[in-house]
Structure 1
Amino acid sequence: MNSSRPRSRAWLCAAALLLALAGPSCVLAKAGPEAPPLLLAEVLRGDVDVTRYWVSEKLDGVRAVWDGHALRFRSGRPVHAPAWFVAGLPPEPLDGELWIGRGHFDQLSGIVRRKQARDEDWRRVKYMIFEQPGGAGIFSERIEHIRRIVARVDVPWLQAVEQFRVADRPALQAKLDEVVGSGGEGLMLHRADAPYLTGRNEALLKLKPLFDAEATVIAHLPGQGRLTGMMGALQVETAEGVRFEIGTGFSDAVRRAPPPVGTLVSFQYRALTKDGVPRFASYLRRREAF
């Protein structure tokens, strides 16, 4: 047998386990955090009976899940909130958005991503609750339970998202126009009789004047004219393999330091062509790995 034959990493780690009490063990790369199973929204399309749904404003925040002990982003990574913020949360699991107001996503993102929380910043943050993970009963019943939890805890940074009903499609459109006209993103519709579900499901729908999606940056295209020396457009690819360019929606600061190749970015668009290419795509932001 050739004693110089390299041994596999798995073999070495198995051997190291036998020596764990006697010395250092094989060091493995730590697995990433496990993302909690959550309910994800479909886009409202077709002839949906909107009277079967509770409606709420779609908040431009950062989703966070409270399991009764720890606050985490949807990726599973911990939210480094101040101790007083977490201490005010109840023992029941909650699902909601960290939010500071319409049109302030970038400021919020900067606050919640910091590993060293700043009290003065977090005093502006509210945890807006719209679901109770694992909660019993239909959504209408979970709404009432969420309201009771928030009232019992009685801290200003924990709030229940306002849920309301509409009489018909024109009433839903009027509410959408009102919210968007005031700087909001759109509306969410949650089917009133739905049990607690996870995964992408039509029990939860989103309604916006523009669609949004995500794609991976595959190239930077140079700018011309006023944009000479800066990025002119991003070439991106969707998860379905559709490639196209995004040339609008960028500030000059982003054009000078564009999202690196391989980065996931969010964009808005009006419709899809017959080939599945987003029409009038406009850059929104870099998709943060919360």
Structure 2
Amino acid sequence: MLLWLGMACCSATAHAQAPDILLAHVYHEGIAVQDYLVSEKLDGIRAVWDGQQLTSRQGNPIHAPAWFIKDFPKQALDGELWIGRGQFEVLSSTVRQSTPEDAAWHKVAYYVFELPNAAGSFAQRASQIAALVKQAHTPTLKAITQFHVKDVAALKRTLDAVVAKKGEGLMLHRADARYITGRSQVLLKLKPQLDAEAKVIAHVPGKGKYQGKMGALLVETRQGIRFKLGTGFKDADRARPPPIGSMVTYTYRDVTKNGKPKFARFLRVRPPE
């Protein structure tokens, strides 16, 4: 029984090639926050615009309506499809339909935070993004607001304000950084709790009130670390658990010396891309 079986989405193909994009490290103390531009971390779906087509971070097409992208620039863009805070499930259902539903897509916008392969510093690219979005003059294309904070205390206050409004966290991008790809310290994410992804290896049978249902998931991280994920599930999740082989997102606070996450909690199934 596949949780995502039958969902019309931008399913993977044998020839899909993931775009080379910048990925963030986790924020750590000791950095000079004045050297970074800060923005809200959106809980959306990463998408790359190549001038003609939106694709997922795995390289699969995202079937946006023609009217949604008609005023996008021919220049490559990197950003996030987003509806609003706490709306990820609605967004996922909308974006992953192979036949787009106009009414649902009218709630979505593409928030741009990078210009792939563009010259100059990130601060300069952020200004270019703002200019491109203004020129496009369409409600479907937006620039993520970038700003400076004067110190760590101001950064933490900003984080608290975003989280209080049900936001996910903050992103910090070095203002002087040239465009690069891969996982880099020039881009950092700051959240009240960390999250990561793991593959479902097995369903652990439940006991007591969970008798006859899934009690926990045995999962494996990309680093090959296996652990049981047993909290954060709704009754519906336990009755119809994520299929073996699927990817799930979990939250955690820290890791042990052996690399296992502490206080791991199921967040959601990661939709196939």
TM-score normalized by the length of structure 2: 0.93
CA distance in 1, matches of 2:68, 2:247: 30
Partner of 1:199: 182
Partner of 2:8: none
What secondary structure does 1:184 align onto? coil
Alignment of 1:51-66 (within 5 A): 51-66=34-49
Is 1:139 aligned with 2:122? yes
What CA deviation, in whole Å up to 9, does each residue of 1:60-112 have, x standing for no partner? 00001101111111111001010111212111111100000000101100000
Q: Residue type matched to 1:115 in 2?
A: S
CA RMSD of aligned residues (A): 1.0
Contact 1:75 1:289 in 2 (8 A): no
Larger relative contact order (CA 8 Å, sep ≥ 6) = 2
Deviation at 1:225, TM superposition (A): 2.3
2:88 to 89, 100, 105: 105
Q: Residue type matched to 1:120 in 2?
A: A
Partner of 1:82: 65
Runs (4+) of structure 1 moved beyond 6 Å? none
Alignment of 1:183-262 (within 5 A): 183-262=166-245
What secondary structure does 2:30 align onto? coil
Contact 2:227 2:260 in 1 (8 A): yes
Deviation at 1:254, TM superposition (A): 1.2
Partner of 2:6: none
Contact 2:69 2:140 in 1 (8 A): no
Deviation at 1:240, TM superposition (A): 1.8
Alignment of 1:25-174 (within 5 A): 31-174=14-157
Partner of 1:17: none
Between 218-227 and 205-214, report the one with greater CA deviation: 218-227
**Identity rate, percent:** 54
CA distance in 1, matches of 2:123, 2:222: 35
Contact 1:50 1:168 in 2 (8 A): yes
What secondary structure does 1:110 align onto? helix
2:161 to 178, 184, 195: 178
Structure 1, gaps ≥5 residues long: 1-29
CA distance in 1, matches of 2:62, 2:103: 16
Structure 2, gaps ≥5 residues long: 1-12
Q: Residue type matched to 1:149 in 2?
A: L
Q: Residue type matched to 1:117 in 2?
A: P
Between 227-236 and 199-208, report the one with greater CA deviation: 227-236
CA distance in 2, matches of 1:144, 1:100: 23
CA distance in 1, matches of 2:61, 2:218: 32
Partner of 1:268: 251
CA distance in 2, matches of 1:194, 1:42: 15
Deviation at 1:57, TM superposition (A): 0.4
Contact 2:217 2:230 in 1 (8 A): yes
Deviation at 1:55, TM superposition (A): 0.3
Contact 2:114 2:125 in 1 (8 A): yes
What CA deviation, in whole Å up to 9, does each residue of 1:222-254 have, x standing for no partner? 122222221111111112221111111111111
What secondary structure does 1:213 align onto? strand
Q: Residue type matched to 1:184 in 2?
A: G
Contact 2:82 2:109 in 1 (8 A): yes
TM-score normalized by the length of structure 1: 0.88
